[in-house]
Amino acid sequence: MQVHIDALGAEGHGLARLPDGAALFVAGALPGEDVTVLPTGDGRARVETIIHPSADRVAPVCDLFGECGGCSVQYMSLPLSLRWKTDTVLRALHAAGHADPVPVTSWQGAPMTRRRVDLTFAREGQAIALGLHRKRGAVVDMTQCHVLEPALFALLPPLRQMLHSLPAVRRGGDLQINMLDSGPDLLLATDGPLGPDDRRLLAQFAGTHRIPRISWRPHGSHDTPETAAQTAGVWHEFCGVRTAPPPGAFLQPSRAGEDAIRQAVLDALPTKRIKGDIIELYAGCGTLSFALAERARVMAYEGDWAAFACLKQACGGTRVQAFHNDLNRQPVMGTVLAKAGAVVLDPPHAGAGAQLQQIIDGRPLRVIYVSCNPTALRRDAAALLQAGYRLEHVTVIDQFLWSTEVESVCLFTRPPPPRRR
């Protein structure tokens, strides 16, 4: 069947219209292309032949494209990717009811700048495969990567050798790497217990490759990690303030992407003196907190205990005060939020949950919402609209190159109450 691709869907698939008006999503197709497809059911199809390719179709830069579970749209030019992600965010906001045109700023990162990665590994014969899963498949050994920082990618070959020698690795496990200012920080999960020989090998590896800390926990568990080897102090700076992140701490994927989000949040604050404190929700280890503190006093709330402890320890001598609240079970109340000069929130993928209702009840004049999920943003933006908030500005952040992930910073305001005579 031959179809013409009109647009891109939310998952990056080409969107075509069948003669009866039904939508057909074609994996691997781009807008403007004429393609022959093989329907796979449920309104989906795959490309068989590209009759007229788009000018935005490019050759994938990685030989593992199509196998590795990471970069899913490397056939799409980066300028088209940014336009598509911007449209995805704007469509979500339009679906929420924010139909008036607003100023939009878009930012895109560069290849080979990603500083954190979650990998999986498995024994395959006499070797270790270390990389990402195929979709619903085995581990694809990451022999090349065009998104990771070169220093991070350079760790993978010696890591394979070390993991192969570990008695704690029976069949496989997971590995998270954060490239902190102090150096690589590793969180290892294995399917076997960690014994004295494992600790000795990890300590040797950490010393040889200048890794300040290697932490460990059983594979599949959410236990608090234990330190398996440490050769130096672990630290990371946010706006000149030194913190001590816990194992597996959340970092923005790239330094430049973190700077772009931080600047978009600061630009959304009032240009004049802020009347009242800034209340920051889901503060993490302080990614935004210390930058916000340059503009006003910050009341920073975080639910994860390890992240809160990191933030609390770094607050001395700053205008940041840290609080430990599970914001889904113990949200900051509207009576507190009502006094804020601005509310800044960077919620998890599922959105703001119970905390959003307290924001609506408190009716602060300015809400700055950092989103990593357009679907959750649509739901929360609709609730803010119904409560009288207006969308003033949107910044779209693309730091997950060649993927369907997109982040945004949205400024919502509401008019101040009329003055009493």
Whether 34 and 180 share a structural domain: no
Whether 401 and 329 share a structural domain: yes
- Helix or strand run (H / E) with residue 22: none
Annotated binding-site members for S-adenosyl-L-methionine: 252, 282, 302, 346
pLDDT at 379: 97
| 285: annotated active-site residue | no
Range of the domain at 33: 2-57
Does residue 197 lie within any of the structural domains?
A: yes
Whether 396 and 378 share a structural domain: yes
Whether 133 and 226 share a structural domain: yes
One-letter amino acid at 263 equals: Q
pLDDT at 421: 64
Question: Phi first, then psi: what are they for 367, rounded to 5°?
Answer: -125, 125
Does residue 245 lie within any of the structural domains?
A: no
Please count the other Cβ atoms lying within 10 Å of the Cβ belonging to residue 417.
8
Whether 211 and 289 share a structural domain: no
pLDDT at 1: 87
pLDDT at 273: 87
- C-alpha torsion sign, points 61, 63, 65, 68: negative
pLDDT at 417: 72
Per-residue pLDDT of the chain (421 residues; tens, 9 = 90+): 899 999 998 789 999 999 888 999 999 999 999 999 999 888 999 999 999 999 999 999 999 998 888 899 999 999 999 999 999 999 999 999 998 889 999 999 999 999 999 999 999 989 999 999 776 678 999 999 999 999 999 999 999 999 999 999 999 999 999 999 999 999 999 999 999 999 999 999 999 999 999 999 999 998 899 999 999 999 999 999 999 999 999 999 999 999 999 999 999 999 888 989 999 999 999 999 999 999 999 999 999 999 999 999 999 999 999 999 999 999 999 999 999 999 999 999 999 999 999 999 999 999 999 999 999 999 999 999 999 999 999 999 999 999 999 999 999 999 877 776 6
| Last residue within a domain, chosen from 183, 209, 238 | 238
Does residue 418 lie within any of the structural domains?
A: no
pLDDT at 325: 94
Number of domains in the chain: 3
Whether 121 and 98 share a structural domain: no
Does residue 243 lie within any of the structural domains?
A: no
Cα separation, 156 vs 175, in Å, equals: 11
| Predicted structure pTM score | 0.94
Does residue 246 lie within any of the structural domains?
A: no
Whether 230 and 202 share a structural domain: yes
Whether 281 and 354 share a structural domain: yes
Residue pair 62/68 in contact (Cβ under 8 Å)? The answer is yes
pLDDT at 66: 86
**Which 3 state secondary structure label does DSSP give 141?**
strand
Does residue 73 lie within any of the structural domains?
A: no
pLDDT at 93: 97
- Cβ neighbors of 259 (< 8 A, separation 6 or more) are none
CATH number at residue 26: 2.40.50.140
Residue of 68, 315, 372, 410 marked active site: 372
Whether 257 and 303 share a structural domain: yes
Annotated binding-site members: 252, 282, 302, 346
